Amino acid sequence: MSAKRLGGVRRWVTDGLITAFLLLIGGFGSHFAQANQEATGALRTPLDVLGYAMIFAAAGVTIIRRRWPVTTLGVVAGLTAAYLIIGYPYGPILISFAVAIYTVAGELPLRRAAWFGGVAFVLLALHAFFPFHDFTNTKFNGLLPSAAFVAVPFAIGVTVKVSREAVQRSRADEARRIADDERLRVAQEVHDVVGHGLAAINMQAEIALHLLPRKPEEAEAALTRISRSSKAALDELRVTLSVLRQRGDRAPAPGLAQVPALRDRLAESGLPVTLSVVGVAAELPLAVDLAAYRVVQESLTNVLRHAGSATASVVITHLPESVIVEVTDTGRGGPVLVGSPGHGLEGMRERVTALGGTLAAGPLTAGRGWRVQAELPVAPDPTTDPNGAW
């Protein structure tokens, strides 16, 4: 089942539970409301089959409230107005009306929501003027409860909507900031990769030239190291340039050692991240360290952008021949976005496979959340000579 369909199922289940609650409280609560108003002498019309039918219909239609909020409000407001005009007791039907008002306020633009809320208030207030031919008995005190059942859920709905939009904007801003930080590191990464590789090749070439006349066998070993160093430098440069943007700034090349700092930054923006390290961390080749960090960073950035309210977990496993990074989240289960090279799932896969690794991504078995796992081979750094020479 796709993530979008799962989200729709969860929404229908939630709305179904709310509707069931409204039906339950409507059936039982209305009886007690009638008994209370009968005892105080405020009851005009006892509940009958029609009254209960209105209560249950107003509660039942709320199951479609998020898909058709205006239609839901129209039906519930009409039923509630008719219920009160007939003279049935004030009761749980007003809770269904409040839920419909809250949904319109939370789902529609403010101006449209206010307009529909005003129309609903007029309908609800009609009972205060009934019977319409006898204005001497107008119950103006009935206008205050009507206004409260419109204004309070409307204000709550607007507040929840504004808060939700503010959180989404904050997460989007944080995601952009992380992307900007990545751009600022690119120039330094290019400098470090190229400088490191060329320095190693130059030193080993000097050694080979020095040894060639007298010790050809040792010169051959130096030339082999040159070949390995140049290949490693090209691999590292390819990985770095795959995320090249426009600008850069001096900064250490990122690696798995920077994951705790990334975790702390994301926690400040509202995405709790737990970090676990399994095994003994060893010094990794620059390209492997960089690629592993980028997989973690891009996966968490996509959680921040697309998973909604969620938590994330990062597990780094150091094995003798490889390093495994795994990022899981508890969000909506949507996939990492696929875009141009360097973005999303395809960008991560190209980065990992360029180093001989593998990458797997997909929804968790529980149907909620997403998992990205990358395994990168770890080889001895060819730019480092065991005797201390480049």
One DSSP character per residue, 1-45 reads: --HHHHHHHHHHHHHHHHHHHHHHHHHHHHHHHHHHHHHHT--SS
pLDDT for the residue numbered 386: 38
pLDDT at residue 253 in the model: 61
d(CA 12, CA 101): 19
CB atoms within 10 A of CB 167: 14
The alpha-helical segments, DSSP class H, found in the chain are 3-40, 49-60, 69-86, 93-107, 110-125, 143-211, 216-241, 259-268, 286-306, 344-353
Q: CB atoms < 10 A from the CB of 370, how many?
A: 26
Check if the beta carbon of residue 277 is closer than 8 Å to that of residue 316: yes
Give 10-residue mean pLDDT values along the chain (390 residues): 62 89 91 83 84 94 92 94 90 93 93 93 84 52 78 93 86 76 62 59 70 73 71 65 49 77 74 88 85 86 70 91 91 50 66 88 75 85 39
Q: Is the pTM of this model over 0.75?
A: no
Rounded Cα–Cα distance for residues 3 and 17 (Å): 21
361 three-state secondary structure: strand
pLDDT at 250: 43
C-alpha of 286 from chain center: 31
